[in-house]
Amino acid sequence: MFMLDQLDNNPRLRLSDDQMKAIIWTMKESGTPNVPSFFSFRKMQKRLAQEFGLNPRHHTSSLDNQFHMNHPNDLLRLDFANPLVREYLHFYPEITTTISESWQAAKWVNEIEDDDLSPMWADWEGASHRHFYVKELAQCGDGKYCVPLKWFVFNKKIHCNAYLVTRELSGIFTVEQHEIIRVLATDLRYNFLDLQQQGEIRFSGVQNAFQPHMPHPVRTTAQGKPVFLLRIMPWADDVSGNRSKQYNAHKNIYLANLNLPHKLLSQEYFVRFCATSQHASSLKQFDALAGDCTQADWTTAYDCKLQQEVLFRIGIHLLPADNPQQAETTSTSGSSANFWCREDDSGGSAPGKPRTPEDTVAKIKEQIKVACLGVAGDVEDLQTESGVKDKTAVHWMKLLIERARQEQHERVYNHDTRDPRLNDTRIEGPARQAIKDSILTKIQEELYAWVIMQPPERPCEILHTILLGEDKYVWHETTKLWSAEQCALFAARLQSASIDGLNLASLRSRYMVQYKKSLIGKHFKALQQLSIFQLDSKLCSGPLFELWKANGLLGALLWQASSSQSDLTIATNNVLDRWAIVDPTRITQKYKLHVLPHSPSAVRRFGPAPLYATEIFECWNSVFRLCSVLSNHQAPSLDIATTLADMERFKHQVSGGWWKSANGHWTQAGCKIRKFLTENKQLQRRLGWTADHLFKPGQWQFTSSDWKNALGSAWDMSLAEPLEHQGMNWHGCKYVVARSEDPCFPQSWVFFSEGARVVAGRISKILVPESNQSATEAVVAVQEFMIPDAPDARFEMPLCCPVSGFLDVVRHSGGTCPVPVRRDERDDGAHGGVASVVVEVPDHRTDAWWCLAGASKSRLELFPITDDSGRLSPIHPKACGSHGRLEDLSATFPHPPPPPFLSAKKYRVSKSCAQSDPSRAHQVHGIHQHQTSTPMV
């Protein structure tokens, strides 16, 4: 029965009822014992679904469009009960110097109201498990009193901002509101309930406002259960429900749990389907989704880590989407309008006298406020009088007029639902009219606040804005006049490029060139990283080449795990400067170029752009499409939601998740079913789940001979055989795993340590002694390389030159780190033998960053070319214009100084000099300066 259930719930291998019947019939004919009938199988699935409790709920929009939704509260409670997920949940904002997760970015740390963060903390590792709430009096271990205001993580430990509280001899407490202190959470000893048992808690007369909030209102609701708050990222898009070219429009909503790290959210296993409808717009579906986000809506879940029930509620953090969907969500007119931007008021077809922003905004707000009264004619009169007719406001005003009329009907005119005072026949005349006017004014104020206070939670999305925008424009500008010979030349060069360490699939360069006008995101991601190394004067002009360089650097900054906002701002401005040289009309005609300057502020508020990238949602559309094809086509919204809810049920149960059984007890599947997912890579792949640490540092795999023959052409008299393994046979290995958990193969570029030095090199051989085949260490022969002082004049990137005669033997235990490197092909066909891009590689043990020549954006992170200040330089540093000088940007967007390793100087050691004086390879500035941190290798 279990095997049939997993066959029926494979997301990317959907089976129809007839196919399932054929499988059951084949199993019976083959003599398989205990095969259920199709009817019994469906009955079992229905029983499990009812017991599991994940049922789509029916909704009707304000336009009477009906749809069904799997609500976020029902979906996210599964994360608490899933042992594969629960350990990764992160509930508190974190203060760090580098930002790599959503909870480390400015919005989560600084902008969210304290009441919208997790209100409670408890020391689960201690014995007492006391629940400490914000805005409640607490006592520290040293006897001091405080009122916690906000929980957060600092230096990997929970802290809180708090008011210091003093206690007078009379027992009255005084809150020192003029000063906020930082308290380590584990220093808290007694919570409010403990202090209540010690005696009455009274505050000084001026501060009686604290008294009504103690105990915290949520403590009463929780009844001793732990309380948490989750933040979600809903995503909406229009998707075809057909696999054919005939478009069958559906509006879909998916979501992701932002309390999970990005490495998990980039997997299909963690994409949650909410709703779909052929009729209800995404805004109407968002309205139903928002019903789960009220402060009073707490949901019960079973926490498999704490082994008890907990309460949680959710909040919407941001709303990523492609540009047309962003326009709909933000109620703007889209990129085809004169006023096209969703983030600013730029637009218009001709220059003229600019309006005063304050005056224009005031007129729009006045129109909106009148619309809240439900009279369309009054709004039109105001538009005629002022000449101001904002398209965004027009959309919202239509909604406001409709909603105001509904509210007025319910609260003023409907006898059953209106204010009870209006049903009192004794109230007449002016008194009755005053009651009506007060209700209408209140409705107006509520609707006005609802529409005006729309937060800017729609960041620049890198798939559609960068890959399918900026990269596509550069690619088209480069290839639009190529001849067949030029296409063939570029395809040959691109196909010969090494993708080692780039985390890319096969390049298929001939396909890219043949269908150069129909490429998708994955193609542009490869072109962004590799094209610059294949282009020369035969394929593009000088200004275009400079644009490719600026664009590649911007892409590297956007995709890396952490970056300086000032660097990102300068890189964005550099790209626009290059476009102004190549084709300035693109900037005014292409909306995706216009929104580029908004990306730095989005990175500051929400974190690195990959955190809210939508590729994973776009990929998941194929799962939805298969469900749509096999739906009953009578009530597709309900049928698809039910099918995908059953997939969630199977995924949760096979993962070892807990659910409440029919007898009211929390239960989970048997041990054999739980092991099936963790031990079966086929099922992991089909569910879109990637096991953590597929490659362990120090791991190797075989590909026997003595030491000299094992090294082959790499053997040298200076390479002594390890003493403890002399005379033994050696096995060649296929790969060895670096500390970054990347497999490194022969000919891979790596970092390695040689004593106190951190050195760049290229793997020649990977060997392991025959007598110790189960060892966790391998011996790696590495060709050493050095970095000259001067960057390449053409690429403006550091060089990587071989050290003649230097071949090192490295004992490997997870210490290397792969570095992709590009060979320089000059116009005359000569091989420069050099690397061409700076790569920034994180050391997860020390939070240090390491730089060396390599390829652009990949699984590794990129560190840009820097000037002597360690910051990214504008293209025209002496004429920055409106972009501002680098020092000004640094003051506006402060960030920690860059690591000293290869980041603050420019080097000038020629290749010939390095070969004639190999000792110079050991004197590259920066290698010896970074010995305070644990080296990468």
For the full predicted model, state whether its pTM sits above 0.85: no
- pLDDT-wise least confident of 45-59, 184-198, 547-561, 808-822: 808-822
- At which residue do the structure tokens 């209408």 appear? 440
User: Which segments of 723-767 does DSSP mark as H helices, in order?
Assistant: none
Helix or strand run (H / E) with residue 326: helix 323-329
β-pairing, 227-240 with 308-316?
parallel
Q: Is the pLDDT of residue 159 over 90?
A: yes
Minimal CA–CA distance to 761: which of 907, 937, 935? 937
Burial of 49 (0-12, 13-18, 19+ CB in 10 A): middle
Minimal CA–CA distance to 72: which of 433, 277, 315, 266? 315
pLDDT (0 to 100) of residue 24: 92
> What is the pLDDT confidence band of residue 840, given thresholds at 50, 70 and 90?
very low
Residue 430 tokens read as 């002016």
> What is the pLDDT confidence band of residue 835, given thresholds at 50, 70 and 90?
very low
Q: Is the pLDDT of residue 409 over 50?
A: yes
Distance CA 133, CA 150 (A): 9
Secondary structure E strands in 829-868: 838-843, 848-853
> What is the pLDDT confidence band of residue 339, given thresholds at 50, 70 and 90?
low
Which amino acid type is present at position 317?
A: H
β-pairing, 838-843 with 848-853?
antiparallel
Burial of 469 (0-12, 13-18, 19+ CB in 10 A): buried
**Domain chopping of the chain, boundaries:** 1-87+229-320+638-692, 120-215, 357-452, 462-613, 700-863+898-930
User: Mean pLDDT throughout 738-748?
Assistant: 80
Distance CA 146, CA 165 (A): 5
pLDDT digits (tens, 9 = 90+) for 584-620: 888 877 878 877 887 887 788 887 878 778 778 888 8
Phi, psi of 268 (to 5 degrees): -65, -25
pLDDT digits (tens, 9 = 90+) for 254-311: 999 999 998 888 888 999 999 999 888 887 888 888 877 776 778 999 999 999 999 9
Helix or strand run (H / E) with residue 783: strand 778-786
Minimal CA–CA distance to 191: which of 239, 250, 284, 123? 123
CA geometry: angle 662, 663, 669, nearest 5 deg:
65
pLDDT (0 to 100) of residue 184: 92
Burial of 307 (0-12, 13-18, 19+ CB in 10 A): exposed
Q: Is the pLDDT of residue 97 over 60?
A: yes
Which amino acid type is present at position 393?
A: A
Residue 676's Cβ-side half-sphere holds a number of Cα atoms within 13 Å equal to 19
> What is the pLDDT confidence band of residue 893, given thresholds at 50, 70 and 90?
very low
β-pairing, 145-154 with 94-95?
parallel
Residue 899 tokens read as 């690591």
Distance CA 204, CA 734 (A): 73
Name beta bridge partners: 667.
Answer: 659
Distance spanning both ends of the chain, measured CA to CA: 50
Q: Is the pLDDT of residue 877 over 50?
A: no
pLDDT digits (tens, 9 = 90+) for 695-721: 666 565 555 455 555 556 555 555 555
User: Mean pLDDT throughout 479-496?
Assistant: 91
Distance CA 81, CA 655 (A): 10
Cα 657 to the center of its chain, rounded Å: 25
